[in-house]
Structure 1
Amino acid sequence: MIRMLHRWPGLLALALLTLLAISGAALSVFPAIERLSAPQADAGQTVAELATLVAERHPGVEQIRRAPSGRITAYWFDGGTPGAAVIDPSTGNDIAPADPDPFERWLTNLHRSLFLDDTGRLVTAGGAAAMLILALSGVMLVARRTGGWRRWLAPVRGPTDGRLHVEIARFVVLGLVLSSVTALWMTASTFDLLPDAPLHPPMPERMSEQTGFPPADMDILRSTSVMQLRELSFPYAGDASDVFTLKTGQGTGYVDQGTGQLLVWSNVTAWQRLSEIIYMLHTGQGATALGLILGAMALGVPAMGATGVLVWMRGRRGRPRLAHNSPASQASNVVLVGSEGGSTWSFAATVAKELRAHGQSVHIAPMKGFDPRRFPVARRFFILAATYGEGDAPASAEGFIGWLDETADIPAAPLAVLGFGDRSFPAFCAFAEAVAKAAHAKGWSELLPFDTVDRQSPQDFARWGRALGDVLGIELELAHQPVVPATETLTLVSRRNYGADVQAPAAILRFATPSVTLWERLTGKGFSHFQAGDLLGVLPEGSDMPRLYSLASSRGDGFLEIVVRRHAGGLCSSQLTALEPGSSVQAFLRRNSLFRAGAGRTPLILIGAGTGIGPLAGIVRANRQCRPIHLFFGMRHPGSDFFYGEEMPGWQAQGRIARLVTAISRGARPHYVQDALRAEAVAVTRLIRDGARVMVCGGRDMAAGVADAMTEILAPVGLSPATLKAEGRYVEDVY
């Protein structure tokens, strides 16, 4: 429900909110310009002195106003002709016309009413309401994504557009709530929907009915500083029953024009004070710095609108089209999906299809943002969850365990958890297992014991389906066919061979980048955008299970490059290492936004061994700004598998590598990359204390050894790989 409240107002009102935000940001600049350009009164100058100066130059003065910016404007009649000017308070001289800036006036009318008068004001109020809904629902979604309010500022991961959306929201949401609430208040006040306090005290019943007392001698004007002045209105010429009206930040009073005595005084009410504060907060008038800050925050709206649309489009692309998905309020079976790359969704679709074949209603949804109140008639819940990295939540399940830990609203319907992973990895189905344990600890009843599917095994999935059928009393056969991503043909243009001397054939394979359409460039599909560290999914002949390889190149290089070692019995690696220039493969691109060098000049510590050098070499190649990069590379023998050995000296000469440390594992003194790290412990510690980011790529055993070495190196300074990971400064691409 919260996600829907956040998504649809944003998509439907995007153009209006962008217009209001940009125009509001532009208007926030004018109070600052006015403050800087207007002459300011001296702190000791009184209203009596100012009135005297102005009256000497304009005997027909009717009113003097002081704006929150300090600008003073006088209005007068001269021979029946009205006049107005900005006044220099030190001299009373005119210094500029009082007419408002035409562009500012045009922009104000656009922002307030879209040039549609009351109808436009109602439309902009609707935009403010949509902004308030977006801001409040966004706050709750960010809290869910980060695992609770206490982790509001915790690092977020995932695709760049999603991370930018959250990061921007964190810093602008308070300003957007403030702007939208104050806009709604001002609209309600415009349409007299709020209690109305009298602006002026009642006129006195008894006056001297005399004229001519000079303002310079009036006690109330002599005791009032110009800094307090809001407005001074002069009596109408020749009307003895009229009075001076003085308005300050403290209240409003009437002064007898014949005696100079204060006749009536009314202090500002709490309601009027609140209204003034709200006006100041929304317009920035009287609080220039705050206005500029809120204006800058408003510029987050178009940025979040753009990233939000990208997130929505990616979400629609990332999920299969779920035909016949029952409404959440009517589904008796709810399948929650935790997926990083999208494959788990297709297993969920298979479950739903078979259950529907037996007359069951099924709703499929992501684990992220789960709210049991959406499913009032659910009789059972299923969680199908993959694991990301070393036991982390996949993209569509972020925040779920945090919700479990904090909620007291556990569904009464039982739960079955099925994990998807690769048993050869140490963290096999660790996230799904953590979900099952957390649910059990919360008292969520169990429909089936926790189970797993290894490497998308149709046999494992069918076995689980039969167990589910036994519990439901139906014959359930889950025959799943993996959904293969759409592929493109890549042609090999060159290869460099390595590893023959150590009986481990390997090659650097360079493919031509396929052509992309304009639509692909605009939407980011296909091979339109990629960076070193993204993944190339290669579909071997005779198989529907792709193999993923880390890219050693970026789009700007003009080619796709991977480093491949042939493995005994490896279908894909055998085919790739046998390719000759001119041959082709079927492949697709999968972005890996978590394995990024990031922007800035922060030092990088790149650690890799064997073919893990691929994406690290791509990062070095792209380092045209000569960011400090310290590369630790482990190989078997420099004469056989020193990948990119030809390029390394040139990269060092160009400043793309600050330091290269190699480790040789074959020879008289075997030396591994973790040994090289220990030997450079002092330098590594200094770099990390200075903010360096660590990137590790290679086999699981190597990565585990590196983590152990880093734990030893960093322990004396109170750091560890775990703390660096929590800060987003230690990332791994492990296979």
Structure 2
Amino acid sequence: MAVSSFLFILLASVTGIILAFEPIDHAALNYSGDQTQIPVTQLIDTLKSNYDEVLSVEIDEAGFVKASVLSMEGDSGDFYINPLTGKKVGEIEKQAEIFQFATSLHRSLFLKSTGRFFVGLASFLLFLISITGLILIIKRQQGIRAFFNRIIKDNFYSYYHIYLGRLSLIPIIIITLTGVYLSLQRFEISPDIVLTHDVDYTSITDTPQRNLAEFPALKNITIADVRYIEFPFSPDVEDPYKISLTDRELLVNQVTGEVISELSYPLVNMLSYYSTVLHTGRGSVIWAVILAAACFSILFFIYSGFKMTFMRRKGRIKNKFKAAQSEIVILVGSETGSTMSFASLFYKELLNKDIKVHLTQMDKYQQFPKMKQLVIFTSTYGDGDPPANATKFLNLLNTFKDIPQFEYSVVGFGSLAYPSYCKYAFDVDEALRASPVAKELLKVYTINNKSWEAFDQWVDQWGERLALKLEVPRDNTVTKPRKKPQKFEVIAKTYAQESPDNTFLVTVRPEKSIKFRSGDLLAIYPQKDTHERLYSIGKNLDGELLLSIKRHEFGLCSNYLNDIEVGASLNAVRVKNPEFHLKKNQNAILIATGTGIAPFLGMMADNENKKERILYWGAKNEASFALYENQISTALERGLLSKFVPVYSRLGKEKIYVQHLIASNHLAFSNALKNGTVLMICGSISMQKEVIAALQVICETYQLKSLSYYQQRGQIKMDCY
């Protein structure tokens, strides 16, 4: 539908933007002088005093008064007047050529009746697109109540497609419905009705005679209520004032001021009037600006819609091996194409290992005669529904039963901000577990917010089970391209050898000034032509970047940073991470394990307002604390940190982790969620999952809202790897 109406909607939007400036340009003349509350009797009296003959007066949507008058000495003709003085204030100018051109193109594409039909049809199609878009947003946001909740950012195009769609929905619906109605009117399917007054002129009397100010018919009527006044052609009592108001038409005796006849405008006339006003923005600069913004939004929807379509198609791969030849089959359920991008990387890496693998959509599940491993990558759409290319999978799974046994793995992609986080992945896993020929290789694995680190971790786990060494490149279509690296000077550091758990601190300063906040990331390039490594950063009291790093025996970047000397420079790029920023006026509970403490050290140092900051930190033993003891002790002394709660997993016989600490402090965490305290989590993916599970239990125990509710409000923030 969007494709078929693309050209007409494009032209209507562009010309709509141009025409939206016409009422703005008209209002800039300011001929009304904000005098629309003048009584209409005063206006009539002023005109009759200033001119020999007054034919008519028209008040346009902007409140400007146009008069048609005759005068033996002064101005005659049609022009704008000052309603207070009756004097001429401006000529009635012709429509500017650019607006004439845009109007003709907007209404009929220069094709007269044929063009008007297609423009009207395009308006109707755009209305249908708006309604279907509304339904899709409601489904994506998981209910109409969550319509205005925070949008989870998949990518730039889908995010702003939804964001602008919500903002411009009502204006676009108004534009389309009024456009359709005006088209019907031009084809006389819904024409205006001409009012015909039935007047008994023989019964009209000329008594009692009244002054204009005393006319009973015109009491309490101001210029703002009037559209048009037709003056009497003669002094005869049978020749009345014909006054068109916003909702009715009056015939008023010019001598007595009594109403001779009064007719209300029928519905079609009212619809015609307000459709014109709402469609064009006449009389309201604010509404004209809104209409222009809505037209700009439509242009963006056209572009982003095509862009997202091409992104989905770009993810399609021509398989090297046919389905019947392949021992490993990858099935993908993807709504926007991002899940397909991850699957494609995994597929290409298997091809690099000379493995016969086949990649296809979940709805194309069939009997794979040589399949030994089934890998499913799937997102969840809406409230636990399958994505568009996976709606038939569960039925197909039950169709093909007489097949050899195979092992399977399910990977779910989603966002913890949604209540039905990866629900469809769990539905698929449950269906496969019920199959007599399917055996679980790995438990269902979930990936939050397209986390590259979580995906890389799963690839390693899957490869280990099959004795495969898999390395998925980070420079790919999934991760965002970085800016050009710049130099950072190492100004202080410790060494891994000094710490019992091989962790160390590095403090760096950019050689060129850059803005950054605690919680941002630093992408470090240890050598030329090597892949980046991301580290969460804290900002210390001197405005320098603090990194906390664990050295791995074969870790390229961690060994590089451990070996680098003070005074040396390294190549890196600051990566904004606004989803993990903490506002200065917010209370917060900070949850970290190991080196995940780095951004929280910066957030403590930045706590100028001395808001409540409680740090829960997990490590192996007390010796691990020595690396951070000075900074944490100083923060506690200065009131920058309210409380420090460490937990050491190897201190006693029983291993205790940070999630156990959260569970034992359930009341404190329940109260924190209730009173708006922000919970921030930084550390490993496995820790994140355990902490989320503990928080979920607390929410259920205390009958709080779901975790997704708090994440939607920005009350739960995570940066895990």
TM-score above 0.5, yes or no? yes
Pairing 1:246–2:243 present: yes
Pairing 1:171–2:156 present: no
Aligned residue type for 2:677:
A
Tell me what 1:596 maps to.
580
Tell me what 1:551 maps to.
536
Pairing 1:613–2:603 present: no
Could you tell me how far apart the structure 1 residues matched to 2:504 and 2:217 are? 90
The SS at the match of 1:38 is coil
Could you tell me how far apart the structure 2 residues matched to 1:685 and 1:412 are? 42
* CA pair 59-320 structure 1, distance change in 2 beyond 3 A: closer
Query: Of 56, 60, 68, which residue of structure 1 is paired with 2:53?
Result: 60
Task: Among all aligned residue pairs of Structure 1 and Structure 2, give the percentage whose two residues are the same amino acid.
Answer: 15
The SS at the match of 1:136 is helix
- Give, in angstroms, the shift of residue 402 of structure 1: 3.2
Could you tell me how far apart the structure 2 residues matched to 1:25 and 1:641 are? 66
* CA pair 345-83 structure 1, distance change in 2 beyond 3 A: same
Q: Could you list the per-position Cα deviations for residues 649-704 of structure 1 after superposition, in whole angstroms to 9, with x for gaps in the alignment?
A: 69998xxx953533455799999978998999999777655533221112444874
Query: Of 676, 683, 691, which residue of structure 2 is paired with 1:691?
Result: 676
* CA pair 709-450 structure 1, distance change in 2 beyond 3 A: closer
Is residue 207–residue 256 contact of structure 1 (8 Å, CA) maintained in 2?
A: no
Is residue 86–residue 97 contact of structure 1 (8 Å, CA) maintained in 2?
A: yes
* CA pair 200-303 structure 1, distance change in 2 beyond 3 A: closer
Is residue 673–residue 710 contact of structure 2 (8 Å, CA) maintained in 1?
A: no
- Give, in angstroms, the shift of residue 210 of structure 1: 13
Could you tell me how far apart the structure 2 residues matched to 1:647 and 1:461 are? 40
The SS at the match of 2:494 is strand
- Give, in angstroms, the shift of residue 271 of structure 1: 0.9
Tell me what 1:268 maps to.
265
| Aligned length, in residue pairs | 652
How large is the Cα RMSD of the aligned pairs?
6.5
* CA pair 111-626 structure 1, distance change in 2 beyond 3 A: farther
- Give, in angstroms, the shift of residue 577 of structure 1: 3.5
The SS at the match of 2:36 is coil
* CA pair 81-448 structure 1, distance change in 2 beyond 3 A: farther
Tell me what 1:97 maps to.
89
Could you tell me how far apart the structure 2 residues matched to 1:126 and 1:561 are? 60
Could you tell me how far apart the structure 2 residues matched to 1:243 and 1:25 are? 39
Pairing 1:299–2:293 present: yes
Q: Could you list the per-position Cα deviations for residues 55-96 of structure 1 after superposition, in whole angstroms to 9, with x for gaps in the alignment?
A: 1232311112344565544331113831534344xxx52366
The SS at the match of 1:63 is strand
- Give, in angstroms, the shift of residue 492 of structure 1: 7.5
Tell me what 1:659 maps to.
641
Could you tell me how far apart the structure 2 residues matched to 1:267 and 1:53 are? 28
The SS at the match of 1:143 is helix
Tell me what 1:524 maps to.
none
Is residue 518–residue 600 contact of structure 2 (8 Å, CA) maintained in 1?
A: yes
Could you tell me how far apart the structure 2 residues matched to 1:612 and 1:492 are? 21
Query: Of 278, 283, 304, which residue of structure 2 is paired with 1:281?
Result: 278
Is residue 601–residue 631 contact of structure 2 (8 Å, CA) maintained in 1?
A: no
Is residue 23–residue 282 contact of structure 2 (8 Å, CA) maintained in 1?
A: no
Could you tell me how far apart the structure 2 residues matched to 1:261 and 1:701 are? 84
Q: Could you list the per-position Cα deviations for residues 276-296 of structure 1 after superposition, in whole angstroms to 9, with x for gaps in the alignment?
A: 23234334557x6xx736844
The SS at the match of 2:179 is helix
Could you tell me how far apart the structure 2 residues matched to 1:734 and 1:306 are? 34
Is residue 201–residue 238 contact of structure 2 (8 Å, CA) maintained in 1?
A: no
The SS at the match of 1:56 is helix
Is residue 537–residue 549 contact of structure 1 (8 Å, CA) maintained in 2?
A: yes
Could you tell me how far apart the structure 2 residues matched to 1:533 and 1:169 are? 30
* CA pair 255-305 structure 1, distance change in 2 beyond 3 A: closer
Tell me what 2:384 maps to.
401
The SS at the match of 1:401 is coil
Greater mean deviation of Cα atoms: 638-647 or 657-666: 638-647
- Give, in angstroms, the shift of residue 24 of structure 1: 3.1
Could you tell me how far apart the structure 2 residues matched to 1:309 and 1:628 are? 45
1:317-466 matched pairs, under 5 angstroms = 322-324=316-318, 335-337=332-334, 339=338, 342-347=341-346, 386=377, 393=379, 397-399=380-382, 401-402=384-385, 413-414=396-397, 418-420=409-411, 433-436=425-428, 452=442, 455=457, 457=459
Is residue 165–residue 308 contact of structure 1 (8 Å, CA) maintained in 2?
A: no
Pairing 1:566–2:551 present: yes
Could you tell me how far apart the structure 1 residues matched to 2:103 and 2:714 are? 43
- Give, in angstroms, the shift of residue 605 of structure 1: 3.8
- Give, in angstroms, the shift of residue 41 of structure 1: 3.3
Could you tell me how far apart the structure 1 residues matched to 2:500 and 2:465 are? 40
* CA pair 41-363 structure 1, distance change in 2 beyond 3 A: same
Could you tell me how far apart the structure 1 residues matched to 2:298 and 2:610 are? 29
* CA pair 694-30 structure 1, distance change in 2 beyond 3 A: farther
The SS at the match of 2:384 is helix
* CA pair 531-485 structure 1, distance change in 2 beyond 3 A: farther
Q: Could you list the per-position Cα deviations for residues 317-342 of structure 1 after superposition, in whole angstroms to 9, with x for gaps in the alignment?
A: 8996645499xxxxxx9843475694
* CA pair 551-179 structure 1, distance change in 2 beyond 3 A: same
Is residue 380–residue 414 contact of structure 1 (8 Å, CA) maintained in 2?
A: no
The SS at the match of 1:659 is coil
Is residue 82–residue 89 contact of structure 2 (8 Å, CA) maintained in 1?
A: no
- Give, in angstroms, the shift of residue 633 of structure 1: 5.5
Tell me what 1:469 maps to.
none
Is residue 637–residue 666 contact of structure 1 (8 Å, CA) maintained in 2?
A: yes
* CA pair 155-680 structure 1, distance change in 2 beyond 3 A: same
Is residue 534–residue 591 contact of structure 1 (8 Å, CA) maintained in 2?
A: yes
Q: Could you list the per-position Cα deviations for residues 434-457 of structure 1 after superposition, in whole angstroms to 9, with x for gaps in the alignment?
A: 14158789x9x9996776598455
Pairing 1:724–2:710 present: yes
Q: With the length of structure 1 as denominator, give the TM-score of the two structures.
A: 0.64
Query: Of 139, 144, 156, which residue of structure 1 is paired with 2:139?
Result: 144
Is residue 493–residue 504 contact of structure 2 (8 Å, CA) maintained in 1?
A: yes
Tell me what 1:733 maps to.
719
Aligned residue type for 1:176:
I
* CA pair 188-208 structure 1, distance change in 2 beyond 3 A: same
Structure 2 unmatched ranges of 5 or more = 321-329, 401-407, 414-420, 446-456, 477-481
1:532-547 matched pairs, under 5 angstroms = 533=519
Is residue 414–residue 446 contact of structure 1 (8 Å, CA) maintained in 2?
A: no
Could you tell me how far apart the structure 2 residues matched to 1:458 and 1:669 are? 30
Is residue 631–residue 659 contact of structure 1 (8 Å, CA) maintained in 2?
A: yes
Is residue 234–residue 245 contact of structure 1 (8 Å, CA) maintained in 2?
A: yes
Could you tell me how far apart the structure 1 residues matched to 2:691 and 2:331 are? 42
- Give, in angstroms, the shift of residue 567 of structure 1: 4.7
* CA pair 317-508 structure 1, distance change in 2 beyond 3 A: farther
The SS at the match of 2:676 is coil
Is residue 492–residue 509 contact of structure 1 (8 Å, CA) maintained in 2?
A: no
Query: Of 196, 200, 208, which residue of structure 1 is paired with 2:191?
Result: 196
Tell me what 1:472 maps to.
none
Aligned residue type for 1:173:
L
Could you tell me how far apart the structure 2 residues matched to 1:296 and 1:19 are? 15
Could you tell me how far apart the structure 2 residues matched to 1:346 and 1:208 are? 91
Aligned residue type for 1:185:
Y
Could you tell me how far apart the structure 2 residues matched to 1:306 and 1:583 are? 47
Aligned residue type for 1:277:
Y
